[in-house]
Amino acid sequence: MGKADGLTGFGDRWERLLRLATVALEVPSGKRGVPPVSGSGFFVAPGVVVTCAHVVAPCLDDLPEEVHGLTTSGGRLRLRASGSAYMRDDRGLDIAFLRTAGDGNLSDLPYVLLSPRIEVGDEVWTYGHPEGRFRGGQPASFKYEGCSRPDIGGGIELMRLRGTPVGPGFSGSAVANRRTGAVCGMLCTSDRAGSAHMLPAHEIIARCADV
């Protein structure tokens, strides 16, 4: 998506690129009569989509072989899940990497620039694929309030956001810092009252060599 420091003032460009890098995800339930799980993800490298682990499966034993993806431009994707790229625990870790499988040329699909740079008070913006009427894509804006820690004994620090209420389907959306134009995290929790949390970008970077 370009250089983090060079995108300020070019909001139309980085917002458009973020939308193009975002993927609507549907995870087959594997059970008759049970609808697929809806979520969001985004390209972080060629052929690699990141999302929340809880979108892909509630636990490793339930991991599907394949996840269906739909890009903002209408392209359909088959995405493979693997146990080695599924990371979830009760201390805040919630990341899964999916890889494209058997699809055509994906060179026209951009991937995001990740940067951990963020300060309390920064305005951030996300674009996801919620369940319901606006499954085709919907934006939301927040302000960064600081870090939260799910486990008093350690674990990952999640970044707390306050702003537009969001619900199911937004999990796995990229969160961009409007000050830098770079993606600073991934939306992972929300309460429909305007409070949400994101996994910081450095946690994604540290767990994928392609990034």
Question: What's 161's domain CATH number?
Answer: 2.40.10.10
Write out pLDDT tens, residues 164-211.
999 899 999 999 999 999 999 999 999 888 899 999 999 999 999 998
- Tell me the whole-structure pTM to 2 decimals: 0.89
Domain boundary pick from 100, 132, 166? 100
Same domain, 193 and 173: yes
Question: Would 168 be classed as within a structural domain?
Answer: yes
Instruction: Report d(CA 153, CA 83) in Å as an integer.
Output: 26
Residues making up the chain, counted from first to last: 211
- In the prediction, which pLDDT does 36 show? 82
Confidence class of residue 150 from pLDDT cuts 50, 70 and 90?
confident
- Provide the number of structural domains found in the chain: 2
Same domain, 86 and 117: no
Nearest residue to 162 via CA among 135, 193, 199: 193
Domain boundary pick from 100, 125, 147? 100
Same domain, 60 and 133: no
Same domain, 40 and 68: yes
Residue 35 is encoded by which pair of tokens?
Answer: 């609808």
Same domain, 96 and 138: no
Could you tell me the residue range of the domain that residue 67 belongs to?
Answer: 20-100
Write out pLDDT tens, residues 3-58.
344 444 445 788 999 999 999 999 987 666 667 889 999 999 999 999 999 999 99
